[in-house]
Amino acid sequence: MPTTSVVLILALIALVSLVISYIGAAVGLVLGQLRLILLVLWLGPLAGAATSLAVSSVGALFGALRHAREGRVSARLVLSFGVPSALAAFASASLAPTIDPQWLEGAIALTLLLSGTVMEIKRRRARAAATTVSSGEDAPAAGPAAGPAADPAADPAADPAAAPAADPAADAPDGDPPRAKRRSTLLVEMAAGSALGALAGIVGLLLGTLRLPLLLRLAPTPAVAVGSNMAIGALTGALAGVAALREGTVDPLAFAVLAPVTMIAAHLGARTTGTLKRDTLLAMIAWVLILSGLLMVAQALLP
């Protein structure tokens, strides 16, 4: 029977999770990083990371199913990128209990720092690009780089790695490089998937923010990159969650409360997409992650 203090703490985390999941879904985010911070503070780095990852994987699974129904998931990327990621996450989540808690907390802190920094850099670049396009709306297009098509994510043709293959022989005057190129790409996908999956299983995050830039170059369209990212995250989190449950590192009470709360809030928040100012929210989240990461690094370094 949980004590009154445990019930109050869990209720507070559930309320915060409800709010951040609702807001996050409204702007197309998961915000698992913010939930991770609260769970690590309450349960410690091992149980907090495992429980947060299990909750995130449930939410990602529902999102991935919707993307798959609408044809936005690449089966090839799920196999080449997602399967190695999931297997590596299973292995690292199984080994997580053997890692020194101080090192584990340091890894979580550094990942939060990296995640927040990447989010802030992307936000600033998107804002600068939007300002450039807005200021040039009345000017005649000077060339192919003018307008939104200059962004590879907006126009796959602007990025050869993201565009559909038009003529493999065009890049292969000497014989059969397309096959070698495909083999090299496959190795990159497997290596990147394994590395991010191993990190995910330890730190308790699906790491979609770090995985998406690479998928934007590998997928045929940005929409498929987003859907495949969600599916890979769900698969990674599911196997890591199985390993964590087997090791007994997931807090069952916290998972039982937070998983349905997160799903309900995400469903309701998705219906309000467009009503919140994304740029301001991203800036706030990025700096919360950066400051939280710095505090956790300081705490991990203290004797």
| Chain center to CA of 87 | 17
- This model's pTM is above 0.95: no
Q: Which residue has the higher pLDDT, 99 or 156?
A: 99
Contacts of 64 (CB under 8 A, 6+ apart): 73, 227, 230, 231, 233, 234
Distance CA 81, CA 95 (A): 21
DSSP of 95-112: HGGGS-HHHHHHHHHHHH
User: Could you tell me what percent of the chain has a pLDDT over 90?
Assistant: 29
pLDDT band of residue 299 (cuts 50, 70, 90) is: low
Question: Rounded to the nearest 10 degrees, how much is the dihedral formed by the CA atoms of 191, 196, 200, 206?
Answer: -120
User: CA 283 to CA 115: how far, in whole Å?
Assistant: 12
Task: Determine contact, residues 83/235, Cβ cutoff 8 Å.
Answer: yes
Sign of CA dihedral 70, 76, 80, 84: positive
Of 56, 69, 58, 68, which is closest to residue 29 (Cα–Cα)? 56
Cα 228 from Cα 192, distance rounded (Å): 15
Side chain identity at residue 78, one-letter code: V
Contact between 236 and 197 (Cβ < 8 Å):
yes
pLDDT at 164: 41
For residue 152, pLDDT beyond 80: no
